[in-house]
Amino acid sequence: MPEIQQLLQNPAILYPVLIWSIVWKGLALWRAARLRQVGWYIALLVINTVGIFEIIYLLATNKRYKGMF
């Protein structure tokens, strides 16, 4: 576990991971709000998985979201 802490204290790794996570979280939250899925919005807001959960949500709702337009 100390290796992970040392790795995340390195700004060259920490900042790209933060940006990656924020971008995917923003996209997923936007889609959940547009689809009026309050439960998903709250789950996406609370659960932090470095973008993995958000990407899965975006892929799962892709067809429904495109059907809105």
The verdict on residue 2 lying in a domain is: no
- Total number of domains constituting the chain: 1
Short-list 50, 62, 56, CA closest to 22: 50
Position 8 in a domain = no
Angle between helices 38-46 and 52-60 (to 10 degrees): 160
Give the residue numbers spanning the domain of 32. Answer: 18-67
> Does the predicted model carry a pTM greater than 0.95?
no
> pLDDT, tens digit, for every residue of 35-50?
999 999 999 999 999 9
pLDDT of residue 67: 80
pLDDT in tens, 2-60: 788 888 888 898 899 999 999 999 999 999 999 999 999 999 999 999 999 999 999 99
Classify residue 10: in a domain, yes or no: no
Using left for φ > 0, alpha for ψ between -120 and 50, and beta otherwise, residue 36 falls in left
Residue 5 lies in a domain: no
Q: What is the pLDDT of residue 1?
A: 67
Whether residue 22 lies inside any domain: the answer is yes
Tell me, yes or no, whether 44 lies in a domain. yes
